[in-house]
Structure 1
């Protein structure tokens, strides 16, 4: 059953053939890639490692494909996304001795026909009565037979205690395997102190043969119970002990990343062994140990357009966004529950409810047009989607086709194929508003299976296969998804409970002869993409490139310099060094002569007379107003006052024309910043507000910064909770001038960096590691829709600002949009028409149908908001939109 050889992209855990003349023994799993010399490190069938050139390695199979994984076509990486709904794997197993010699072979063995040497793998789901847990540690006892018939038991036989006797350095995958198996030759310095089952220790007992491997103990992280559901606080309050004897546990299912791969040691199940008894060499003890030498995997896929593909070769698919989670918030799949997130007529509320408290509409996706970002769905009648209702089915109100940008996933009903779920047999509702309502589990009858796995999503319902092998359809609010973290994350959370040892060590290679855990999604690293760009398992090369801007503003321009994506932090150094802050306050007292007069915070002084820097009275809505004891203040002495005034002078003298800063005489540790989105970015003409505080240890540490998000995530670096992710603020990794340098860095550098580096023309690539996707199909697929969504959220932010401007900036907000509102609306109209006058005739303006549909929904509200403040030149726009 040799697999077909395919030339395609390489990914970690791909099964490859690197020497066709030698056949089986020269197959390997891709472990890592070295970009400097274009070589791959491969795990061979006999457990050894070899390094080979990567550019000519053909792929036999993808070993990492699992149910619930998102994939794309290997020939169309920028096309629609699919989700794996089923995987079928047949194994080619063989007897291989310690010297790597291949003996008897059996083809076409299903995964159900074999069992691992160690019955439980790390990450497996296990049951103990009414409790569901994940295996995070397994200890094994190993019985070793010596040539004179003596047998000893090595307890808790980790790889530091017991080692392979082979002359070759042998590795294993810690999640699914142990390095010891019946028939393997081992050595140890601990034989003398072990328990002797037969005979006694002798000096010549240096090397023996493993005759039995038995689980001795298991550590379990409990994640759910039949009585308490999946709420971790409730579960942990009464969970069973972490350490369990294997006999007390019932295996439920493997983790999605616990897969069969090359080199896995296994036993044939009794029926398979009897079927092939004549072809296996005679054994009395130990039981013959087989090794996975090859496998054939076929995959069933549900695509975004609603079509299903059955029995596809694994090499015809690429893991989507591997190793990154590239699923955007507007990537939807058939069967998913979604919530209407279009701007409401009452209040554009990012929390999802209208001003009158009524819940948004809920629907189920039927199909998605991934190019136009349009979603065909069915809306449910409101009564059938309320948590706690007793309806046995969801009632469809109507079918509709809407923009993907006007939808969000229903967070309370988000399940994926392969998810392990817990039945909530009796559902009650907590909270006083629809947004606060959460299902709670009560006792599940003992004769009703309460743990299952999602096998399909149909018409808004979830098909679950339960622990007793029965299958049924349930409503989404009747189940809860169990913990999906990797076993290493769970084990880390149990660091105080679980004794540290070598099992599952995350290092790629360590003294215990293990490789890094390639089955773990946290360690899964893309080896080679479609354009040959690469990275090693241990990290990513942080190289930022500039790419062509996919969206641009067709009309108008901003005052001040262009600070789009072409700027880098190194480019900003010259700009800000003229305002360097010195820690030496003894040599320069000139700051004491700088006087800034406090003015009225409203700033209502005529047509845009706001200075870029001013000192006013502190506003009551400043995010850090209640942290006076944590920041620099005038009460901390003249040294701190001088430091603050130096910062004020730098800002006063050097701020770009599109950044406005207000300092506060009564709270010298605080500032508020407004900045205009730069021309040529999706943030053009938007206003973005940041509150800052200089802590007591400033300038030894960077300022604290809070972003006024209004609940919108319009940039990877700006979070809805106000967090600003930037290396200069020590909220992200960096080096050199990218990080805060006491005595050199300043508030000016912070605000200019945010405008130039965060609010840039291609924010999709701001996400850590995504710069590697520039000029790759995966990057091209996302850069335009990310910009479209960022522009839409910028427009919705404008509406919020006009309704609730930050205090002290009311005049700035009003006057800015009085002058720029016309250009904002003209830009929107150009997108709706699909073209722009470029001076020499019309030029096509690329955007999706979904973007135009969502834009048409927000335009009337934006036009009304501009008209209410008397924005210049908006009369014709208002007439058009009404």
Structure 2
């Protein structure tokens, strides 16, 4: 079976193995699925003839390669190609230190890459002939060269295979994205301007600005040593001559023998801890600054003269897990040997270019033509193995909030308010993950008795607590998540006993954790050291790289920019992460040591969504043909609609407002009669649903309360004469109504109160005085993780309704803290903890054109049906934006099961919360359930009702019995519905006992 391909894989074309390319998009990698991919390309995308045109046109719209295809960029070709996977052969999978991998996509266990060993095939410098009578030394780009330039057959040395990358050094420095240090600041290189010295065919050397030359293939990329550069004679004549002088007969082409950087553009990121200056260095560094002692490029390949023997380096067993970065390798990268004499002794056929023939310049340069990588992986059970990179796959479950790896900091879920500190909370225990049984969702954790982790909690009005209760930004704030800001994270050293815990009973926040390869700032390197840091050190010893995460909670930091590179062991609170190796720097909030405003949340509409009528906007409807001629959006989608305005007439031919137009679901005005209006407030309201016979006319039924002892089932739709409860999310919004809006609101109510209009399991409550407010109970459908669980949503029909869609708020209930077990969090990709519901019909997700709310056609009933049928589904994992097409793929089965099992757990706690909030229980009252108390009581506990509480308990008991049997060897992979992991069974047992107590 062919290995699945992933982005950045290096592949060969089976029909021509000399053709090498890089994978850019795959069917399964959602992160690569930007729509309209051709808009990002300089050349039109090409495709295999075997790929059908309709599929190719669809790809050019949605950016998702059809199943079995990938987008490849071949070396030497500017245009990207959509290619069938079967026509490709995997050469290497580029894995870096800190990457999380699996042996197979379906495996439960994953591991972290702790070291890499890359072996390269090198192409030495060649003889390049220009116009048949001029010879240069150089290396040509993969693309075909310009006319008159070619390699000679006799002057092309054989490639040198199996050269370890550790023996090589990249000569392209600095380049964009390099990390640099200047004085007390670190930054990232944004651009470089240079001058290049050309060794001409007559042996003279002239220096010109690099923008005055182009590559042998006509390209204008940055130049590196060994390139062939073409220019104009006029540029040579006015250049700076290093050897010789300008001769008109000398061709304007030469070998680049020197690159002298003139300026470097920098984006400044962080400053040294303790630095008093608030003024950043200039955004462009000049030559004088580049040559000063204050400037250096951070070199991750620098190692201590003797690799560290710190005690914590061998805590994982006999084999050290300290990471040692080697030169990062890419195709066509220009290299030279760290020690040419050693290389000449090791590789007998290695050619050597004498400096006397090149005016003293060193042109012993090589291009990487191929490479293979072997990696060392530390697995979650602490075992260590060496694997070929092509035998591993990237872990696609990194968004699993209950995943953990050895060395991570975790804390218990019993977060409580700190006495005397308003708005500050802290967990009861903090520890370090030792080992993880990923299949059973169980971890061994060593508690750190002296650790202190404190959070500032949002008070609901955007204010957070902290020292002094000033509600401002904390100087130590790093991350804000769901209204919580990390204030203090002091871990110390974990020296307690290890304990086995469920992964659902602990949290490993990103703000507390780091990974190998992260760049950190050291706080006072002379006074807070544990081991390895010397007094009076020189160089940039305040910045380093994490090379090991120890099981006692400490870190091994490599001070690669110090005068003498060395490893030190520090506590986590003694460093601040400056640059995360996984590229999530933008997710961090605050600088960690200096005051600054918290980053704002991203708009949730950019996360998830459904299409019209609730259909996922990425979902191709059954029977719907793809429009092969669809044009790309130019931002003027409404222009045609503005020109062709629809008009409406009634049965008498009189003009009608579009809001009065009836659709197939609406009753006519003549059927029910206009409701009398008094200052915009309806005097009559819709009839209740499910009467004995469909109503023709008459007033709508109202009630002040329902009889708790009644034996009749509660109405699906009911209008209450009481005031709307204060717990309704929109209760404080004033009623803004006009006759047109109220007519439309009445129509929506008439639709809801029609017999059998509402789906089974949906209960709507509204208020006589506020028909613009609704509270809806959704009962979780059977055979889903939501089975028989209650979900409450508040709706507001706003003042300009129906021009504006309804507003909705989801009551996301946190589980009682005594239950623990991961009861806090989302229950669906479309339902957020802050109450947001992401749905195109609600305008909270921007679907395709025409998929949102339509004032003349969309109804509130459509919204309710969508929430029940297309959000509360069997496999909610695939509701995530772009995940629909992952169904059936090997890598998504386990991820879907894990999402479902934690959803099942949280849905069971919703039952507890609802029952404990009805009157007379726990003294709390029906907060968030007013209007639905009788419905809840009838559904779950009333003798005359369906007694769903008993069914929930029975179902949970059966699930636990089957899951525990499977865990003991009875078979059955966790699916999140009938079989669960042992880790989730632990909190589910607590939930079961709580539910039994409510019976």
TM-score by length of structure 1 reads 0.71
SS in 1 for 2:729: coil
Alignment match of 2:223 (pick from 162, 165, 180): 180
Alignment match of 1:81 (pick from 89, 95, 110): 110
1:71 maps to what in 2?
101
In structure 2, how many angstroms separate the alpha carbons of the residues matched to 1:664 and 1:220? 60
In structure 1, how many angstroms separate the alpha carbons of the residues matched to 2:621 and 2:174? 45
The answer on 1:817 being equivalent to 2:940 is yes
1:404 maps to what in 2?
503
SS in 1 for 2:500: strand
Q: CA deviation at 1:65?
A: 0.3
SS in 2 for 1:740: coil
C-alpha spacing 1:405/1:208, structure 2 compared with 1 (3 Å): same
1:863 maps to what in 2?
996
2:383 maps to what in 1?
307
The answer on 1:727 being equivalent to 2:802 is no
The answer on 1:463 being equivalent to 2:556 is yes
The answer on 1:656 being equivalent to 2:771 is no
1:472 maps to what in 2?
568
The answer on 1:377 being equivalent to 2:445 is yes
Aligned length: 721
C-alpha spacing 1:408/1:40, structure 2 compared with 1 (3 Å): closer
1:57 maps to what in 2?
88
C-alpha spacing 1:812/1:485, structure 2 compared with 1 (3 Å): farther
SS in 1 for 2:991: helix
Alignment match of 2:493 (pick from 393, 403, 422): 393
Q: CA deviation at 1:855?
A: 0.6
Q: CA deviation at 1:221?
A: 3.1
The answer on 1:295 being equivalent to 2:384 is no
Q: Which runs of 5+ in 1 are unaligned?
A: 1-5, 172-177, 428-443, 494-539, 547-580, 837-841, 867-873, 875-882
In structure 1, how many angstroms separate the alpha carbons of the residues matched to 2:772 and 2:577? 45
C-alpha spacing 1:357/1:49, structure 2 compared with 1 (3 Å): closer
1:523 maps to what in 2?
none
1:366 maps to what in 2?
434
In structure 1, how many angstroms separate the alpha carbons of the residues matched to 2:249 and 2:902? 73
Q: CA deviation at 1:642?
A: 1.6
Q: CA deviation at 1:253?
A: 4.6
In structure 2, how many angstroms separate the alpha carbons of the residues matched to 1:382 and 1:820? 46
CA-to-partner distance for each residue in 1:144-186, whole Å, 9 max, x for gaps? Answer: 566686846336x4xxx7543427xx79xxxxxx453344344
What are the equivalent positions in structure 2 for 1:511-526 lying under 5 Å apart? none
8 Å CA contact 2:741, 2:802 repeated in 1: no
2:514 maps to what in 1?
415
Q: CA deviation at 1:280?
A: 2.5
Q: CA deviation at 1:8?
A: 2.7
What are the equivalent positions in structure 2 for 1:317-328 lying under 5 Å apart? 317-321=392-396, 326-328=398-400
C-alpha spacing 1:750/1:49, structure 2 compared with 1 (3 Å): closer
C-alpha spacing 1:690/1:385, structure 2 compared with 1 (3 Å): closer
Q: CA deviation at 1:698?
A: 3.4
* Greater RCO structure (CA 8 Å; 6+ sep): 1
In structure 1, how many angstroms separate the alpha carbons of the residues matched to 2:674 and 2:658? 15
CA-to-partner distance for each residue in 1:415-464, whole Å, 9 max, x for gaps? Answer: 2222222234599xxxxxxxxxxxxxxxx998693322222222232222
CA-to-partner distance for each residue in 1:94-118, whole Å, 9 max, x for gaps? Answer: 1343558553544444445444443
CA-to-partner distance for each residue in 1:201-235, whole Å, 9 max, x for gaps? Answer: 98998766544434333333333322369xxxx99
Alignment match of 2:730 (pick from 624, 637, 640): 624
2:955 maps to what in 1?
827
C-alpha spacing 1:402/1:147, structure 2 compared with 1 (3 Å): same
CA-to-partner distance for each residue in 1:561-584, whole Å, 9 max, x for gaps? Answer: xxxxxxxxxxxxxxxxxxxx9833
8 Å CA contact 1:104, 1:281 repeated in 2: no
The answer on 1:30 being equivalent to 2:30 is no
What are the equivalent positions in structure 2 for 1:770-781 lying under 5 Å apart? 770-781=883-894
Alignment match of 1:121 (pick from 165, 170, 175): 175
C-alpha spacing 1:618/1:220, structure 2 compared with 1 (3 Å): farther
SS in 1 for 2:903: helix
SS in 1 for 2:6: coil
The answer on 1:645 being equivalent to 2:746 is yes
The answer on 1:166 being equivalent to 2:235 is no
Alignment match of 2:578 (pick from 463, 482, 504): 482
8 Å CA contact 2:112, 2:378 repeated in 1: yes
The structure whose Rg is larger is 2
In structure 1, how many angstroms separate the alpha carbons of the residues matched to 2:106 and 2:733? 49
2:607 maps to what in 1?
none
C-alpha spacing 1:604/1:394, structure 2 compared with 1 (3 Å): farther
1:284 maps to what in 2?
358
In structure 2, how many angstroms separate the alpha carbons of the residues matched to 1:254 and 1:312? 23
C-alpha spacing 1:380/1:638, structure 2 compared with 1 (3 Å): same
8 Å CA contact 2:558, 2:568 repeated in 1: yes
Q: CA deviation at 1:89?
A: 2.0
SS in 1 for 2:86: coil
In structure 2, how many angstroms separate the alpha carbons of the residues matched to 1:612 and 1:17? 63
8 Å CA contact 2:841, 2:863 repeated in 1: yes
1:595 maps to what in 2?
685
In structure 2, how many angstroms separate the alpha carbons of the residues matched to 1:308 and 1:724? 44
In structure 2, how many angstroms separate the alpha carbons of the residues matched to 1:843 and 1:106? 52
8 Å CA contact 2:193, 2:263 repeated in 1: yes
C-alpha spacing 1:88/1:793, structure 2 compared with 1 (3 Å): same
C-alpha spacing 1:423/1:811, structure 2 compared with 1 (3 Å): farther
Q: Which moved more, 1:802-811 or 1:642-651?
A: 802-811
Alignment match of 2:801 (pick from 698, 706, 718): 698
The answer on 1:847 being equivalent to 2:980 is yes
In structure 1, how many angstroms separate the alpha carbons of the residues matched to 2:657 and 2:777? 26
1:525 maps to what in 2?
none
SS in 1 for 2:332: coil
SS in 1 for 2:5: coil
Q: CA deviation at 1:292?
A: 0.8
Q: CA deviation at 1:326?
A: 3.8
C-alpha spacing 1:137/1:612, structure 2 compared with 1 (3 Å): farther
What are the equivalent positions in structure 2 for 1:227-626 lying under 5 Å apart? 227=273, 238-245=279-286, 246-247=290-291, 249-253=295-299, 259-269=328-338, 271=340, 275=344, 279-282=351-354, 283-284=357-358, 287-288=362-363, 289-309=365-385, 311-321=386-396, 326-341=398-413, 359-381=427-449, 393-396=493-496, 398-425=497-524, 449-461=541-553, 462-467=555-560, 468=562, 469-484=565-580, 542=618, 583-585=658-660, 589=669, 592-593=674-675, 595-596=685-686, 606-607=709-710, 609-614=714-719, 617-626=723-732
TM-score by length of structure 2 reads 0.63
Q: Which runs of 5+ in 2 are unaligned?
A: 27-46, 53-67, 125-138, 302-324, 455-486, 527-534, 590-615, 623-655, 663-667, 676-683, 687-699, 814-823, 918-926, 942-946, 965-969, 973-977
In structure 1, how many angstroms separate the alpha carbons of the residues matched to 2:255 and 2:511? 54
Alignment match of 2:11 (pick from 7, 11, 16): 16
Q: Which moved more, 1:361-370 or 1:601-610?
A: 601-610
C-alpha spacing 1:633/1:449, structure 2 compared with 1 (3 Å): same
When the two chains are superposed, the root-mean-square deviation of aligned CA atoms in Å is 4.5
C-alpha spacing 1:154/1:623, structure 2 compared with 1 (3 Å): farther
C-alpha spacing 1:275/1:780, structure 2 compared with 1 (3 Å): same
8 Å CA contact 1:709, 1:720 repeated in 2: yes
In structure 2, how many angstroms separate the alpha carbons of the residues matched to 1:541 and 1:205? 60
Alignment match of 1:97 (pick from 140, 152, 169): 140
8 Å CA contact 2:452, 2:488 repeated in 1: no
Q: Which moved more, 1:596-605 or 1:724-733?
A: 596-605
8 Å CA contact 1:146, 1:208 repeated in 2: yes
C-alpha spacing 1:139/1:389, structure 2 compared with 1 (3 Å): closer
Q: CA deviation at 1:266?
A: 3.3
C-alpha spacing 1:7/1:651, structure 2 compared with 1 (3 Å): closer
Q: CA deviation at 1:272?
A: 6.2
1:498 maps to what in 2?
none
